[in-house]
Amino acid sequence: MTTDLTRKTADELAHALATKEVSSAEVTRALLDRIGAVDGAIHAFLHVDAEGALAAAADIDDRRASGEELSYLAGVPIAVKDVLATRGVPTTCGSKILEGWIPPYDATVTAKIKAAGLPILGKTNMDEFAMGSSTEHSAYGPTHNPWDTTRIPGGSGGGSAAAVAAFEAPLAIGTDTGGSIRQPGALTGTVGVKPTYGGVSRYGLVAMASSLDQAGPVTRTVLDAALLHELIGGHDPMDSTSIPEAVPAVVAAARRADVKGLRIGIVKELGGEGFQPGVQARFTEAVDLLTAAGAEVVEVSIPSLEYALGAYYLVMPSEASSNLAKFDAMRYGVRVAPAGNDDPSAEQVMASSRDAGFGDEVKRRIILGTYALSSGYYDAYYGSAQKVRTVLSRDFAAAFADVDVLVSPTSPTTAYPLGDKLDDPLAMYLGDVATIPANLVGIPGLSLPVGLADEDSLPVGLQFLAPQKADDRLYNAAAALERLLEQKWGGTLLSRAPELEVVR
């Protein structure tokens, strides 16, 4: 076991804290030091709350010393995507329009983290309002991939994934509307889980697309993800779309890690053409490992997947166009007076503030969504897209009648260079082809690092999908594959990541 506290997994830290080998204050300081040393190059954080994190750590240490019974992860620091409301700590969603906004309340996820005693290190970078797949659409500058800082970390949750990959935090919270947890996980060699829709409360998660958004864990191991999932999941009366059932036994599933007899379906439509050879190769090898371990692997076809990307890019912007209407400079956020107008109306101030406060990708999606919901177009666009979701749900249900989990590469490519697809939104959208379906049908998905692509030595992710409310299946299968891969590699994938230059 490494002695560098920043390299430890959350499970290892929890154990060391419980046995009083280390204090939360020590761990938190080590991570804050690491952030200070490397985040200039990575830019995973938009806001570091050293004071708040150290105070929370000291509090937990005191409570532990007094013999109080604490949550398992108590004292293990965490980073939170800047799309979740944190009381008293800035929350920008990566947008200029919310610059300086300090929420007066906590998201339910934030509240659960605080109640469990995890010090919050800070808020992580993201594409503006989670719109993007590269974190380049952040109004505060991009995040860099720790494997190659000239490349994107994925998005929209590039900040959370990079923070975990760069050992700035053992745990992070991401949110996933079309792949924003899983795709950055794949591109940074980390584990990312999108729970079943409704499995984790959305209260306090600044909505992009209400029917697709879901918060989830970003970690370096499957077990850590399960521990965090169990902590943040469960019914919330403040979120009407929260499911009433308890969180599935994900930690037990991650510890079980046994795929013998597990029926695994390879989704035919999510591979092959358009997928990078190195991605395809690592994916196939990983599936072979599962087969060798006793899983029954078959190919499954879901023809309606052809329509998923199109449906997604109608539903998501439609809901986003309405969700983002509240940013009008009337009650909070940046207010910009229209130029050359001494006596502007409220409407003119709204327009000029939104013009100045929103970036191009956000405006693009608001315009798309406004159009798709317009009278005369609603049936053809939003209405048809919702029908596609129904068909997709049916097709996935049929597939899950034959197999326990489905697998595909998480992303068609490895991390591409910064700026590569910035001027070609459609090319960037295509990168979400494998992750979007889970959001459209509300099923859980997990991305696990499965190696480095031969052509660029960058991480490749494999995605597991399971039926709604069967998140535990993901953890069982992924933990098994993780163990098989680490046995094969003789260590973790991230231990092979290049050392980052440390600034002191």
Partner 1 sequence: MSTETLVPFDEALTRYDPVMGLEIHIELNTATKMFCGCPTEFGAEPNTQVCPVCLALPGALPVVNAKAVESAIRMGLALNCEIAEWCRFARKNYFYPDMPKNFQTSQYDEPIAFDGWVDVEVDGETFRIEIERAHMEEDTGKALHVGGSTGRIHGADFSLVDYNRAGIPLIEIVTRTIEVPPEKAPAVARAYVSYVRDLIGGLGVSDVRMDQGSLRADVNLSLKPRGSDVLGTRSETKNVNSFRSVERAVRYEISRHAGILDAGGKVVQETRHFQEDTGTTLSGREKSDADDYRYFPEPDLAPVSPSREWVEELRATLPEPPAVRRARLQADWGFSDLDMRDTIGAGALDLIVATVEAGTTPQAAKKWWLGEMARRANESGQDIDTLGITPQQVAEIQALIDAGRINDKLARSVFDGVIAGEGTAEEVVVARGLEVVSDDGALGAAVDRAIEGDPDAAAKIRAGNLGVAGALIGAVMKEMRGQADAGRVRELILEKLA
Asked if 66 touches partner 1 (CB under 8 A), the answer is no
* C-alpha span between 10 and 324 (Å, rounded): 35
Beta carbon nearer to partner 1, 93 or 305: 93
Burial of 66 (0-12, 13-18, 19+ CB in 10 A): exposed
Q: How far is the CB of 386 from partner 1 (least distance, A)?
A: 8
* C-alpha span between 387 and 80 (Å, rounded): 34
Instruction: Return the half-sphere exposure (C-beta side, CA atoms, 13 A cut-off) of residue 57.
Output: 26
Which helix H or strand E contains 171, and what residues bound it?
A: strand 171-175
* C-alpha span between 191 and 210 (Å, rounded): 24
Q: How far is the CB of 105 from partner 1 (least distance, A)?
A: 5
Tell me the one-letter amino acid at 95.
Answer: S
**Among residues 498, 113, 156, 114, which one has the least CA distance to residue 316?**
156
Exactly one of 91, 124, 138, 468 binds partner 1 (CB under 8 A); that residue is 91
The dihedral of CA 24, 251, 297, 406: what is its sign?
Answer: negative
Exactly one of 67, 104, 490, 491 binds partner 1 (CB under 8 A); that residue is 104
Q: How many CB atoms lie within 10 A of CB 468?
A: 18
**Among residues 259, 372, 256, which one has the least CA distance to residue 314?**
372
Q: How far is the CB of 204 from partner 1 (least distance, A)?
A: 4
Q: How far is the CB of 95 from partner 1 (least distance, A)?
A: 10
Q: Are strands 120-124 and 191-194 parallel, antiparallel or unpaired?
A: unpaired
Exactly one of 166, 264, 316, 373 binds partner 1 (CB under 8 A); that residue is 373
Q: How far is the CB of 239 from partner 1 (least distance, A)?
A: 5
Beta carbon nearer to partner 1, 257 or 349: 349
Give the count of residues interacting with partner 1 (CB under 8 A). 44
Token look-up 């002191």 returns 504
Asked if 28 touches partner 1 (CB under 8 A), the answer is no
Q: How far is the CB of 282 from partner 1 (least distance, A)?
A: 36
Asked if 366 touches partner 1 (CB under 8 A), the answer is no
- Residue 86 forms beta bridges with which residues? 89
Q: How far is the CB of 340 from partner 1 (least distance, A)?
A: 20
* C-alpha span between 283 and 407 (Å, rounded): 9
| Residue numbers annotated as active site | 81, 156, 180
Exactly one of 2, 150, 291, 374 binds partner 1 (CB under 8 A); that residue is 374
**Among residues 276, 247, 271, which one has the least CA distance to residue 454?**
276
Q: How far is the CB of 318 from partner 1 (least distance, A)?
A: 6
Asked if 423 touches partner 1 (CB under 8 A), the answer is no
Asked if 67 touches partner 1 (CB under 8 A), the answer is no
Exactly one of 5, 27, 35, 85 binds partner 1 (CB under 8 A); that residue is 85
Asked if 139 touches partner 1 (CB under 8 A), the answer is no
Asked if 317 touches partner 1 (CB under 8 A), the answer is no
Exactly one of 238, 246, 298, 503 binds partner 1 (CB under 8 A); that residue is 238
- Within 8 A by CB and 6+ apart from 286, the residues are 450, 451, 462, 481, 485
* C-alpha span between 368 and 55 (Å, rounded): 45
Beta carbon nearer to partner 1, 374 or 487: 374
**Among residues 148, 137, 239, which one has the least CA distance to residue 180?**
137
Q: How far is the CB of 241 from partner 1 (least distance, A)?
A: 6
Exactly one of 70, 90, 114, 210 binds partner 1 (CB under 8 A); that residue is 210
Tell me the one-letter amino acid at 312.
Answer: Y
Exactly one of 107, 172, 257, 462 binds partner 1 (CB under 8 A); that residue is 107
Beta carbon nearer to partner 1, 171 or 329: 329
Q: 318-347: which residues touch partner 1 (CB under 8 A)?
A: 318-319, 321-322, 325-328, 330-332, 346-347
The three-class DSSP label of residue 225 is helix
CA 222 to chain centroid, in Å, comes to: 14
Q: Which one of 23-31, 65-73, 98-106, 475-483 is the stretch in contact with partner 1 (CB under 8 A)?
A: 98-106
Exactly one of 312, 313, 382, 475 binds partner 1 (CB under 8 A); that residue is 382
Exactly one of 280, 284, 370, 492 binds partner 1 (CB under 8 A); that residue is 370
Phi, psi dihedrals of residue 45, rounded to the nearest 5°: -105, 140
Beta carbon nearer to partner 1, 238 or 298: 238
Phi, psi dihedrals of residue 39, rounded to the nearest 5°: -75, -15
The three-class DSSP label of residue 451 is strand
Beta carbon nearer to partner 1, 279 or 436: 436
Supply the DSSP symbol for 21. S
Exactly one of 40, 237, 277, 303 binds partner 1 (CB under 8 A); that residue is 237
- Give the 3-state secondary structure percentages of the chain, helix then strand then coil, rounded to 5: 45, 15, 45
Residues in the site for partner 1, rule: CB under 8 A?
A: 84-85, 91, 93, 98, 101, 103-105, 107, 202-207, 209-211, 237-241, 318-319, 321-322, 325-328, 330-332, 346-347, 350, 370, 373-375, 378, 382
